[in-house]
Amino acid sequence: EHLLTSRVLSMQESQTMRISGLASKMKAEGKNIVSLSAGEPDFPTPDHVNQAGIDAINAGFTRYTANSGIPELKKAIVEKFRRDNGLEFEENQIIVSNGGKQTLANTFLALCEEGDEVIVPAPFWVSFPEMVRLASATPVIVNTTLESGYKITPDQLEKAITPKTRILVLNSPSNPTGAVYSETEVRALMKVLEGRGIFVLSDEMYDMIVYGGVSAFSPARVTEMKAWVIVSNGVSKTYSMTGWRIGYLAGPKWLIDACDKIQSQTTSNPNAIAQKAAVAALTGDQRIVEERRAEFEKRRNFMYEALNSIPGFKTALPEGAFYMFPSISGVLGKTWGGRLLKDSADVAEYLLKDHLVATVPGDAFGAPENLRLSYAASIEALEEAVNRIRKAFS
């Protein structure tokens, strides 16, 4: 281990692995686990998307493609940005990568030097700080609260900026909190950054999974900041395509070219078959997106009521994505079922071992007093899970 680089050693090991490893083991032993730990939709990939993949194989579309993605897919992505997000990009401002994850990793590698700071509001998606560290830069974590809807304020942003600040990471709708920044909030944050040479990496992976009539407003719509905003998205969540590994990035051409260069020397093009399937997803019938969104909204409403009625649990109403992220500080520091629960990891372990509900502790998201529960599960499963959790804390 002493032979490893500081780059790797400075990365944190996933704290969620212990719980998810335990959950798999218990499942294999035949235990009736209800799992609310999934980071992916429980719906299948739509038939017409699968068919496009099958057609691609049958047509022999199984070789290297252009490193940055096939023109047909870039065209579909340009059209998607116009249709869903009110954004205009040229095809040469787009790169297709192996999942949203690779677009983000490429961006940090292209923009960060050692000593650079990247502002990451917490609670954050687990990979942001680790990717920043992998790029030799320093994540600057800014904590948000339930009271502010888990959103960073312009004042907090101003205070976090130093001469070394290179990027602000925004993830709206957010994994894990479900927070969605309104147009007004986005504009206020962009006002702080205007003219200061700081990039915004906007992770819009859940842009189409929003509730209560809100829509996710992209910071790239703020004209004064357009040249400084980089948008990451993908087909994983919207089209239930997590295993196909197609993500895409839009931004200034010079940055896209740099990501192209990095990708060409590391992974080459994303999977050819999956690119064809992604074209079908983005250009095909979009009604399925709305149907699934509506189903998620029903579950969100159920979970919001149900979790808030459990003493010690307090949750904001998520406006997007498919996670509840209640503060569970009300049950911490007490003994339940003979166990003293100090933090969310203890709670997740207790819920799993004694009550057979799999959740994800908030530690990994920079929020040790929260618990993440995914509602990418059937209403029946959610009801059962909530009953078990209620019992665990009564």
Contact 352, 23 (CB under 8 A): yes
Q: Which helix (H) or strand (E) holds 373?
A: strand 371-374
Binding of ligand PLP by 134 (CB under 6 A) = no
State the nearest-atom distance from the C-beta of 42 to ligand PLP, in Å: 14
Q: What is the DSSP string of 23-47?
A: HHHHHHTT--PEE---SS-SSPPPH
Binding of ligand PLP by 203 (CB under 6 A) = yes
Contact 119, 7 (CB under 8 A): no
**Nearest residue to ligand PLP on Cβ basis:** 99
Q: Which CB atom, from 69 or from 234, has the smaller least distance to ligand PLP? A: 234
Q: Distance between CA 181 and CA 183 in Å, rounded? A: 7
Binding mask 219-248 for ligand PLP (x = CB under 6 A): ---------------x-x-----x----x-
Binding mask 145-184 for ligand PLP (x = CB under 6 A): --------------------------x---x---------
Q: Which CB atom, from 219 or from 331, has the smaller least distance to ligand PLP? A: 219
Residue spans of alpha helices (H) in the chain: 6-9, 16-28, 47-58, 71-80, 99-111, 127-134, 154-160, 183-193, 253-266, 272-283, 287-308, 344-355, 379-392
Q: Which CB atom, from 125 or from 336, has the smaller least distance to ligand PLP? A: 125
Query: Which residues in the 57-116 window bind ligand PLP by CB under 6 A?
Result: 99-101
**Residue 140, SS3 per DSSP:** strand
State the nearest-atom distance from the C-beta of 224 to ligand PLP, in Å: 26
Please give the backbone phi and psi of residue 228, each rounded to the nearest 5 degrees, phi first: -110, 0
Q: Which CB atom, from 96 or from 288, has the smaller least distance to ligand PLP? A: 96
State the nearest-atom distance from the C-beta of 80 to ligand PLP, in Å: 15
Contact 201, 104 (CB under 8 A): yes
Contact 374, 366 (CB under 8 A): no
State the nearest-atom distance from the C-beta of 39 to ligand PLP, in Å: 4
Could you say which of 89, 108, 125, 211 contacts ligand PLP (CB under 6 A)? 125
Binding of ligand PLP by 345 (CB under 6 A) = no
Q: Which CB atom, from 247 or from 366, has the smaller least distance to ligand PLP? A: 247
State the nearest-atom distance from the C-beta of 226 to ligand PLP, in Å: 22
State the nearest-atom distance from the C-beta of 248 to ligand PLP, in Å: 9
**Residue 127, SS3 per DSSP:** helix
State the nearest-atom distance from the C-beta of 100 to ligand PLP, in Å: 3
Q: Which CB atom, from 244 or from 336, has the smaller least distance to ligand PLP? A: 244
Could you say which of 16, 35, 37, 39 contacts ligand PLP (CB under 6 A)? 39
State the nearest-atom distance from the C-beta of 6 to ligand PLP, in Å: 26
Q: Distance between CA 96 and CA 115 in Å, rounded? A: 29
Binding residues with ligand PLP: total (CB under 6 A)? 13
Q: Distance between CA 179 and CA 173 in Å, rounded? A: 5
C-alpha count within 13 angstroms, C-beta hemisphere, residue 133: 15
What burial letters (b/e) apply to 229-240, b meaning 16+ CB within 10 Å? Answer: bbbbbbbbbbbb
172 DSSP 8-state letter: S
Total residue count of the chain as it appears in this document: 394
Binding mask 268-307 for ligand PLP (x = CB under 6 A): ----------------------------------------
State the nearest-atom distance from the C-beta of 172 to ligand PLP, in Å: 10
Instruction: Give 233's strand partners.
Output: 248
Residues that bind ligand PLP (CB under 6 A): 39, 99-101, 125, 171, 175, 203, 205, 234, 236, 242, 247
